[in-house]
């Protein structure tokens, strides 16, 4: 990265997702996970029938990293076998205690108050718990902006239905600021796990 003629090194904070679990929730339970970040009326207008919550365990306090280094943070999710196809797989935010990591960071900057996450031990490692929200389906024709395209032939966001056609989903975490960035490993949620959720 170069700023006004000066080379600036970017420090990378590596986050490892050590474990995950998934569950299906109804539309009415959406707010309990996302708090103020619902966007629920918008989601319902696009015909989303329900949500899958992916609870992850990470080896770093991501809230602390975003607060200290003023990082914007987001979740990437895609179908592992279709990496070049763009779709609305879910909320781009990572959630903890009913609010997104980015919202907690803004709250901390404005008020000085922050959420002190309590770590716990899992398989001998110190970990922190977060939630990712995926959409059960995407059924509407929504134009895909050129800036987002990986495949020039794709004109609308990819449609899918995880209940009728479960697929392997890849997820990673990332974030960035002026001099720091966050990168995580990629986890794969097998189609078999998604299928089990809808049979419960």
Encode pLDDT of 5-28 as tens digits: 455 577 888 999 999 999 998 777
User: Residue 73's closest CA among 37, 39, 41?
Assistant: 37
Q: Which two tokens stand for residue 78?
A: 């895609």
Encode pLDDT of 81-103 as tens digits: 999 999 889 888 899 988 888 88
User: Residue 177's closest CA among 74, 36, 56, 34?
Assistant: 74
Given this model, what pLDDT does residue 108 score?
74
What is the Rg, in whole angstroms, of the alpha carbon atoms belonging to the chain?
Answer: 18
Using CA atoms, how far apart are residues 162 and 108, in angstroms rounded to an integer? 36
Residue with tokens 């914007």: 72
Q: Which two tokens stand for residue 154?
A: 């794709």
Question: What is the value of pTM for the model shown?
Answer: 0.87
Given this model, what pLDDT does residue 5 score?
46
Encode pLDDT of 112-165 as tens digits: 677 778 899 999 999 999 999 999 999 888 899 999 899 999 999 999 999 999
Encode pLDDT of 48-82 as tens digits: 888 999 999 999 999 888 888 777 888 999 999 99
Residue-range domain boundaries for the chain: 7-199
First to last CA, the chain: 48
């Amino acid at each position: 990265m170069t700023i006004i003629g000066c080379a600036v090194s970017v420090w990378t904070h590596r986050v490892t997702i050590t474990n995950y679990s998934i569950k299906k929730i109804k539309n009415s339970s959406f707010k309990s996970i996302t708090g103020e970040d619902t966007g629920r009326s918008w989601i319902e207008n696009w015909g989303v029938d329900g949500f899958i919550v992916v609870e992850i365990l990470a080896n770093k306090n991501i809230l602390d990293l975003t607060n200290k280094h003023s990082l914007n943070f987001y979740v990437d999710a895609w179908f592992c076998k279709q990496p070049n196809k763009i779709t609305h797989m879910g909320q781009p935010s990572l959630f903890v205690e009913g609010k997104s990591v980015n919202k907690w960071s803004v709250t901390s900057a404005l008020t000085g108050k922050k959420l002190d996450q309590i770590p716990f031990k899992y398989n001998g490692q110190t970990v922190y718990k977060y939630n990712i929200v995926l959409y059960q389906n995407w059924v509407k024709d929504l134009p895909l902006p050129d800036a987002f395209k990986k495949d020039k032939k794709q004109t609308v966001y990819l449609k899918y239905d995880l209940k009728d056609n479960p697929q392997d989903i890849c997820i990673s975490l990332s974030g960035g600021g002026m001099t720091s960035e966050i990168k995580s490993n990629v986890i794969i949620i097998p189609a078999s796990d998604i299928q089990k959720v809808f049979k419960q």
